[in-house]
Structure 1
């Protein structure tokens, strides 16, 4: 099964507004469904069913305090002249995301499970993939105009192992396992994006 480890991102009015701005650029882009938005920490790709417990085991020792992630600005990979992936930047919370990823990566490698993306990690939130370069200049202008826009802050309480099922309408993500922060005692009010 196709697996990845990530952080759920709550939908906020500001984030949905950014989706609309990118959509209205008129470029040939496949946007992520807002209910599927997440920060990918590790993409594992295809993992045999008999190894899923080992993946869960590699996450189970993770200890972290809840922390804030602040989203800011649009950008693109690999660069702005030939964008393939449009993303929202992360300005606060990068260090914690890197530490969590590093811990899980080491645990996976101890179990001889090699993620597909074990290279450099640049924390971001993918919002769309460019399908062709039709009207690409509009998209580039939109990204440039929104490079420094504040999108909001949310609190990270869980790290989740997702199963991704590809369908013609887009991927369906199912939670298989999650690790909560060690100080998860806060009220649900604290978890809203502002």
Structure 2
């Protein structure tokens, strides 16, 4: 099964992200559905049931305090000259990076590779084609993100099933922060 670790977002945060999606400059793109908006902490890829159980066990040892977060800035991957993903950062990014690092350390013990570069972000859209890149970036920079604040009290192990209509996410296990 295809798995990842995520921070789920409350409805008011998702609604702000949907508002931003509606303001994105014109391009051929696939928007992330409101109910699928989340912050990915780590993509694990295809896992067997045995590997999923290893992950569950390793993550039960992760201890981290709950924290307040808010939406940050709009950004793009991989670069402004070659836009494939539009995203919003989550602040404070240091807290998210600390949690990501603890998760990486716990999973390394179970022979999962650590991520080289981690950028705290929430994917809004996957871009297929942009007619005018300069205009797209200019309009993107004009969009103001409301710094909606929310509490991060858990992270989740998710299963992702790819379908023709898009991915279907299913919660496997929650990990409560203290």
TM-score by structure 1 length?
Answer: 0.84
**Alignment TM-score, normalising by the size of structure 2:** 0.91
2:142 matches 1:145: yes
Choose the corresponding residue for 2:126, options 129, 135, 141. Answer: 129
Q: Deviations over 1:132-190 (max 9, x none)?
A: 223544432221112x53241111011100000000111011010111122xxxxxxxx
Structure 1 unpaired stretches of 5+: 183-194
Unaligned runs of 5+ in 2: none
Alpha-carbon offset, residue 89 of structure 1:
1.8
Is contact 2:130-2:136 (8 Å) kept?
no
What count of residue pairs does the alignment treat as equivalent?
Answer: 176
Rounded to whole Å, the distance in 2 between the matches of 1:174 and 1:14 is 23
Q: Which has the higher strand share?
A: 2
1:180 correspondence with 2:176: yes
Q: Tell me if structure 2 keeps the 8 A contact 1:73–1:88.
A: yes
Q: Secondary structure at the match of 1:95?
A: helix
> Where does residue 104 of structure 1 map in the other structure?
103
* Counterpart residue number, 2:3: 3
Structure 1 position 112, deviation (Å): 1.2
Aligned CA RMSD, in angstroms, stands at 1.6
| Cα deviation code 1:86-132 (max 9, x no counterpart) | 0112232x2221121111111111111236xx111111111111112
- The answer on whether the counterparts of 1:70 and 1:152 sit within 8 Å (CA) in structure 2 is yes
Q: Which residue of 1 aligns with 2:20?
A: 18
Contact 2:20 2:145 in 1 (8 A): no
Q: Does 1:158 align with 2:168?
A: no
